[in-house]
Amino acid sequence: MREAPSTGLAKNFGQYREIAQREPIAVTSHGRAAGYFMSAVEFEELQRYKALAGHSFATADLPSEKVEAIAAGRMSSEHDHLDALLEAE
Protein backbone atom coordinates (compact mmCIF):
# COMPACT_ATOMS: atom_id res chain seq x y z
CA MET A 1 0.00 0.00 0.00
CA ARG A 2 1.27 3.43 -0.84
CA GLU A 3 1.82 6.04 1.82
CA ALA A 4 1.64 9.81 1.52
CA PRO A 5 2.41 12.44 4.14
CA SER A 6 -0.62 14.61 4.83
CA THR A 7 1.21 17.73 3.60
CA GLY A 8 2.19 15.97 0.36
CA LEU A 9 -1.39 14.82 -0.15
CA ALA A 10 -2.65 18.39 0.25
CA LYS A 11 -0.08 19.78 -2.18
CA ASN A 12 -0.52 17.04 -4.80
CA PHE A 13 -4.17 16.14 -4.30
CA GLY A 14 -4.91 15.54 -7.99
CA GLN A 15 -2.03 13.08 -8.37
CA TYR A 16 -3.03 11.14 -5.25
CA ARG A 17 -6.68 11.17 -6.28
CA GLU A 18 -5.71 9.31 -9.46
CA ILE A 19 -3.65 6.78 -7.50
CA ALA A 20 -6.51 6.26 -5.04
CA GLN A 21 -8.71 5.10 -7.93
CA ARG A 22 -6.39 2.08 -8.23
CA GLU A 23 -5.30 1.46 -4.63
CA PRO A 24 -5.82 2.91 -1.15
CA ILE A 25 -3.23 5.34 0.17
CA ALA A 26 -2.23 5.51 3.83
CA VAL A 27 -2.12 9.19 4.79
CA THR A 28 0.61 9.70 7.38
CA SER A 29 1.28 12.34 9.97
CA HIS A 30 4.60 12.29 11.80
CA GLY A 31 5.36 8.90 10.25
CA ARG A 32 2.17 7.19 11.46
CA ALA A 33 -1.00 6.36 9.54
CA ALA A 34 -3.64 8.95 10.34
CA GLY A 35 -6.23 7.82 7.81
CA TYR A 36 -6.72 6.36 4.36
CA PHE A 37 -7.58 7.88 1.00
CA MET A 38 -9.48 5.54 -1.31
CA SER A 39 -11.85 5.60 -4.24
CA ALA A 40 -15.57 6.10 -3.70
CA VAL A 41 -16.21 2.62 -5.14
CA GLU A 42 -13.86 0.98 -2.64
CA PHE A 43 -15.33 2.98 0.24
CA GLU A 44 -18.88 1.93 -0.71
CA GLU A 45 -17.76 -1.70 -0.88
CA LEU A 46 -16.24 -1.38 2.59
CA GLN A 47 -19.51 0.05 3.88
CA ARG A 48 -21.43 -2.91 2.41
CA TYR A 49 -19.08 -5.35 4.15
CA LYS A 50 -19.49 -3.52 7.43
CA ALA A 51 -23.28 -3.63 7.09
CA LEU A 52 -23.18 -7.38 6.44
CA ALA A 53 -20.99 -7.93 9.50
CA GLY A 54 -23.80 -6.52 11.61
CA HIS A 55 -25.99 -9.43 10.54
CA SER A 56 -23.83 -12.07 12.20
CA PHE A 57 -24.83 -13.74 15.44
CA ALA A 58 -23.72 -16.56 17.73
CA THR A 59 -24.83 -20.03 16.70
CA ALA A 60 -26.08 -20.56 20.24
CA ASP A 61 -28.65 -17.85 19.53
CA LEU A 62 -30.14 -19.65 16.50
CA PRO A 63 -33.75 -20.75 16.80
CA SER A 64 -34.16 -24.54 16.90
CA GLU A 65 -35.95 -24.62 13.52
CA LYS A 66 -32.91 -23.02 11.87
CA VAL A 67 -30.57 -25.51 13.56
CA GLU A 68 -32.75 -28.37 12.31
CA ALA A 69 -32.84 -26.92 8.78
CA ILE A 70 -29.05 -26.63 8.72
CA ALA A 71 -28.63 -30.17 10.08
CA ALA A 72 -31.01 -31.52 7.43
CA GLY A 73 -29.21 -29.72 4.60
CA ARG A 74 -27.17 -31.79 2.17
CA MET A 75 -24.40 -30.85 -0.21
CA SER A 76 -24.97 -31.24 -3.92
CA SER A 77 -23.39 -34.43 -5.30
CA GLU A 78 -21.25 -32.32 -7.62
CA HIS A 79 -19.12 -31.54 -4.55
CA ASP A 80 -18.52 -35.17 -3.49
CA HIS A 81 -14.88 -34.92 -4.54
CA LEU A 82 -14.31 -32.51 -1.64
CA ASP A 83 -15.04 -35.29 0.87
CA ALA A 84 -11.89 -37.03 -0.31
CA LEU A 85 -9.86 -33.96 0.68
CA LEU A 86 -11.25 -34.12 4.21
CA GLU A 87 -10.59 -37.84 4.53
CA ALA A 88 -6.96 -37.38 3.45
CA GLU A 89 -6.16 -35.41 6.60
CATH of the domain at 6: 3.40.1620.10
Residue 63 domain boundaries? 2-87
| Size of the chain, expressed as the number of residues it contains | 89
Q: How many domains does the chain have?
A: 1
User: What pLDDT is attached to residue 38?
Assistant: 97
pTM for the model stands at 0.58
Q: Which residues pair with 26 in a beta bridge?
A: 3, 36
Tell me which H or E stretch contains 25. Answer: strand 25-29
What pLDDT, in 10s, does the model give residues 46-84? 999 888 877 777 788 888 998 899 899 988 889 888 888
User: What pLDDT is attached to residue 32?
Assistant: 95
The SS3 call for residue 71 is: helix
User: What pLDDT is attached to residue 82?
Assistant: 85
What pLDDT, in 10s, does the model give residues 4-63? 999 999 999 999 999 999 999 999 999 999 999 999 999 999 999 888 877 777 788 888
Cα separation of 13 and 25, whole Å? 12
